[in-house]
Structure 1
Amino acid sequence: MASSSSRYKDKDAGVVLSFNGQWVSWSHTVAASLAFLSALVIGSALHYHKIVQNEWYGYPQEWFPSVSATIGDRYPERSIFMLFIAITSGPRFALVGLWYLLTAKPGRTLPKVIAGSGIIRTLTCGGWTYITSTDDHDWHDILMISYIVFTIPWTTGCIALSPPNAKAIKYRKYIASAFFGTLVPLVYFFIQHKVHRVAGAYTIYAFFEWALIVFDVSFDAVTALDFDSFEITIKDVKGASKGYVQWLPR
């Protein structure tokens, strides 16, 4: 009978990197947060009066920038945002894949549907962030609305498929309720700005728009509570790397 040490040696043979699944969630959360926060800080520091200006009013009636104006109107914040959002795409696709592996069961269709909506949601996110309102206002809005539409099955599906983790389920329900609840005042204040031309309405709209970003990123961050059960291992099966086992901390 093989000894315990030999079994561990066989298990680690050829392993060049091993890390817990939580790292996928945290890397996605950090990269996405840096993308938006860096654009907001740099844009406010360099072009504050320009990014709070809209078609009807500017400072002081409007004093907080919208997400679209922050990430898409000016250099260098636009470029820095696009750099970080590109970095975010890798962990985002990995997050969708791990969620499918966690929830897939023989004969179940829902996990496949949710994974598909997660992929489309990721692609539309790239659409409205790389095609800004300055580049093409119509396509920017179409892709943003599509992103919100595909967020509905992703969010409800993740809640429905959640493993029996009471803390994760509670957080998902709270964050999802806040996300969809924010859409109502968001639409209201956008109409106040766009149709009725109310001074200051766009600033209030901008706060709700940024809140959606926070809730959206936070919802996906909850996967860290579920991915703790995964260990992702990269093996060199041919021994080309001649490396050693590297374990990232949990």
Structure 2
Amino acid sequence: MAKVGDRVLFRTITVLTVMLPLFGFIVCVAWSLIFDFKSSTATHCGVHNYLPSVSAAIGDYLPQRYIWRFVIALHTIPRIQIAFVYYAYFMSILAKWHENSVLLNCILNLVEILSLFGLTFISSTDNYTIHKFFFITFLLTSTFYMALSICLLGHRITAPNALEVKSGRYKKRLFVTTLLAVFGAVYFFARHNNYCEPMMYTWFALCEYLVILCNMAFHMTAYWDFPHREWSLRPSPDVRQQFRV
């Protein structure tokens, strides 16, 4: 039996972990708009632009770069732990033959987390090629993680409660919104590069913001997935025993 001090309410971990990058993101964008507006919104085209790209807001200026790196570093370990908690959760609600899919889902989540860490600490100005690699990896793994999570939830063998149904509904909406935002970002970026039209880069930046906010919100749905569950800090040989209602 684990002691009371060996357990923590999962909801608390989820909220704190998501609020860290959300706070950092808002501060970095706001700071760039207030103090570095002209340089952070400038593009090679020289056309009017009213929002900084995510890369510019979090990596090109100080103190934004340090703020973003601090919150991402602080939230990475809990995110990794949460990934394993979700592995245990899926194992507990799915048939045994889904084990490989659950493992793949966990790997996608871990790669997403590590890619975010990589693109944060290697900015586009430090090494554009590596930063681009981490960014593309983050985008692909986070999107496939969303899709596979929704697919796995559709094959659960236990009946979901009302909050889990609500969580699943929002997961689907956030996934669709993410896809639309990704396609929008590609479209507006191409228009900006090919035609140098005013406002195209601003719309691209908005799509980037939407992708990031949807990603955070998707992970926040754990608030509904684990309303009363506690997470054991002690490792268990059976991942199904990590949870206690």
| Number of residue pairs the alignment of both structures matches | 222
1:137 maps onto 2:128 in alignment? yes
1:42 is aligned to 31
1:6 is aligned to none
Deviation at 1:113, TM superposition (A): 0.7
Residue number among 109, 115, 131 corresponding to 1:118 in the alignment = 109
1:66 is aligned to 53
Cα shift readout 1:73-121 (whole Å, capped 9, x = no counterpart): 1111111111011111122112211100101154421111100111111
- The higher-RCO structure (CA 8 Å, 6+ apart) is 1
Residue number among 3, 13, 19 corresponding to 1:24 in the alignment = 13
Letter in 2 for 1:176: F
User: Superposition pairs for residues 157-176 of structure 1, below 5 Å?
Assistant: 157-162=148-153, 164=160, 165-176=164-175
Give the percent of matched residue pairs that are identical in Structure 1 and Structure 2. Answer: 21
* Higher helix fraction (1 or 2): 2
TM-score when normalising by structure 1: 0.83
**Unaligned regions of 5+ residues in structure 2, if any?**
235-245
Distance 1:229 1:15 in 2: 15
Q: Secondary structure at the match of 2:5?
A: strand
Distance 2:8 2:34 in 1: 38
Cα shift readout 1:178-224 (whole Å, capped 9, x = no counterpart): 00111111111101111222222111111111111111100111011
Residue number among 49, 55, 68 corresponding to 1:81 in the alignment = 68
Q: Which has the larger radius of gyration?
A: 1
Cα shift readout 1:19-55 (whole Å, capped 9, x = no counterpart): 2111221112111101211211222222121111122
1:239 is aligned to none
Distance 1:150 1:27 in 2: 23
**Unaligned regions of 5+ residues in structure 1, if any?**
1-10, 236-250
Letter in 2 for 1:35: G
TM-score when normalising by structure 2: 0.84
Letter in 2 for 1:93: I
Cα shift readout 1:207-246 (whole Å, capped 9, x = no counterpart): 11111111110011101111224313457xxxxxxxxxxx
Q: Secondary structure at the match of 1:232?
A: strand
